[in-house]
Structure 1
Amino acid sequence: MASMPPAHCLICEDERHYVDKNGQAWTTREELLGNYKNQFKFEENGLYSIWTEPRFAIGQRAFLLQTSFGNILWDCISYLDQDTIDFINKLGGLCAIAISHPHFFTTMVDWSDAFGHVPIYLHKNLDTWVARPDPCLQFWEGSTKDLFDGKLKLINTGGHFDGSQVLYWPEGASNKGVLLSGDDPQICMDSKQVTFMHSFLNYIPLNEKKIRRILERLRLVNYDRLYDAFTIYGTDGVIREGAQQIVQRSGERYCKAISNDLD
């Protein structure tokens, strides 16, 4: 890691995020060690969620997904300690990492290094947001990418970022299909709805063209369950049944609202 902090954070300074009124602050992994602890939750067969307590950064969670071809980390949290490494190694380690969008890049290269320099799959449209280039970063192009001989699929939805992606797990939810979305689509306070935003923090909506593209890309697969990145907004971050219908219906409602046609 660099001995001096960077001059600025391009992700924080983008309109999708923000800089605290006291300015940007920097820390190191060494300074964090011992002050936090990662928690693990068994979500369903083959899937664990991982988050940090006390809450750190924006409070997102990551997921460890197990397949017969190996394990993948979906999205990333900043805090990584030996207890976390040991826990994941007991479950078979990692063969790969994939990140939905730049707000969750965090310490992804450290995670890769800790598990044998495993590849990190990012969509090519995210390459300009990478602040720490590394050979482990594997950029892909197009609308979909199969992983682990088709056991998993990355889908470039765009929307929140042009390179935003989701992870599709067809064997999840008892073979009904699981979508791991990061935060786009994001589950609302009413878990019968999801939303899509250019900026969640600054309340900037997406336009209809981008919403239509997301809906089109998510019709490429069949899924019944949806996990997003957060459990801090009054939900448990899961739609357990009927997720695909909820996503499509919510997208249509969104388009109606921004076109002034909502009653």
Structure 2
Amino acid sequence: MTEYLCVTCGTQYPEQDSEQNPDPQAPPTHCPICEDERQYVPETGQKWTTSSQLKARHSLKRTEHFSGLHSFEITPRAAIGQRAFFLETPHGNILWDCLAILDQPTMDWIKSRGGLTAIAISHPHYYTAMSDWSDAFDHPPIYLHRNDAQWVQKPHPAINHWTGNSLTLTPDVTLIKCGGHFSGGTVLHWRHNKDFLFTGDIMQVVADRKHVSFMRSYPNYIPLPASKVREIGNSVASYEFDTVYGAFDGRTIGKDGKHTVERSVTRYINALTDELL
């Protein structure tokens, strides 16, 4: 049996049901993640690959940000191109967001650091091959917000659909539901020396690295209404954080992160209400 990955978004799909599909080796007929207005199907049409094919052409690059924090990216770039973060905490290691492949050197390195205690993912565009990552490390739970449960394409027993506005993973790590980009859109707060916020693209660190922005769809340029942006700002208002790590390489705000988010919320709402300074 072959498990397929969407070339455009990196989402992994389960093996085909031979009772329902006369050719169980054939790829799925479509990718609901890409057919949604927040993503896209390329003009050339839906394309598929497999994990083995992707790993034959790509590997994972590991970047150390400081002792205890690393990120992984697929190189050369594939699918959406996001980075996943590896947080080493006194209470276990956490993977924030996920990637479409897990190669052997990365697996060995993570095991040398004690494996994974939990996987947490910001939103459906980054679900990718989450079940493979869990299986590789003795099935740590995968935390996804229940509001986005409909977007899971490959069910897995490790998936934990949490509810509410926040979830404490460890004494120093909290998941915060912000909504916005997806109704279950989540960010991660880490109390570690100075405090950190990991935002995926629920809050997208923009090119000037002095602001974040908020969209329903980034590739299709669909904005969020002011009410949703205000909710995102309110969801993190009670948390202190200095550094903001966004989804993509180089998209990090190194200081004054909390005030940067507050200013960005105000700027975005003013733009929608025709009150730009």
Question: In the alignment, is residue 192 of structure 1 matched against residue 214 of structure 2?
Answer: no
Q: How does 1:18-29 map to 2 (within 5 A)?
A: 18-29=40-51
Give, in angstroms, the shift of residue 90 of structure 1.
1.3
Quote the residue 2:260 is aligned against. 246
Find out whether 1:170 has 2:191 as its counterpart.
Answer: yes
Residue 70 of structure 2 aligns to a residue whose secondary structure is strand
Compute the displacement of 1:188 (Å): 1.2
* Structure 1 residue 33, shift from structure 2 partner: 2.3
1:95 equivalent in structure 2: 117
Letter aligned with residue 219 of structure 1: A
- 1:44 counterpart residue number: 66
Matching residue within 186, 192, 206 for 2:224: 206
Tell me what 1:227 maps to.
245
Residue matched to 1:261: 275
| SS across alignment from 2:179 | coil
| Runs of 5+ unmatched residues, structure 2 | 4-14, 16-24
SS of the equivalent of 1:116 reads coil
Corresponding residue SS for 2:182: coil
Contact (CA 8 Å) 2:179, 2:202: kept in 1 or not? Answer: no
What's the CA shift for 1:92? Answer: 1.4
Q: Return 5+ residue gaps in structure 1 as ranges.
A: none
Q: Give the 4+ runs in structure 1 shifted more than 4 A.
A: none
Question: What is the CA-CA distance between 1:34 and the residue it aligns to?
Answer: 2.7
The equivalent of 2:35 in structure 1 is 13
Deviations 1:139-176 (A, max 9, x none): 1111000012x2200000000000000010011xxx22
TM-score normalised by length of structure 2: 0.90
- Aligned residue pairs total 255
TM-score w.r.t. structure 1 length?
0.95
Q: Is the 8 A contact 2:84 2:96 kept in 1?
A: yes
Deviations 1:238-260 (A, max 9, x none): 11100110011011010000011
Correspondent of 1:155 among 176, 179, 202: 176
What secondary structure does 2:200 align onto?
Answer: coil
Aligned pairs for 1:28-107 within 5 A: 28-107=50-129
Query: How large is the RMSD of aligned CA atoms in angstroms?
Result: 1.0
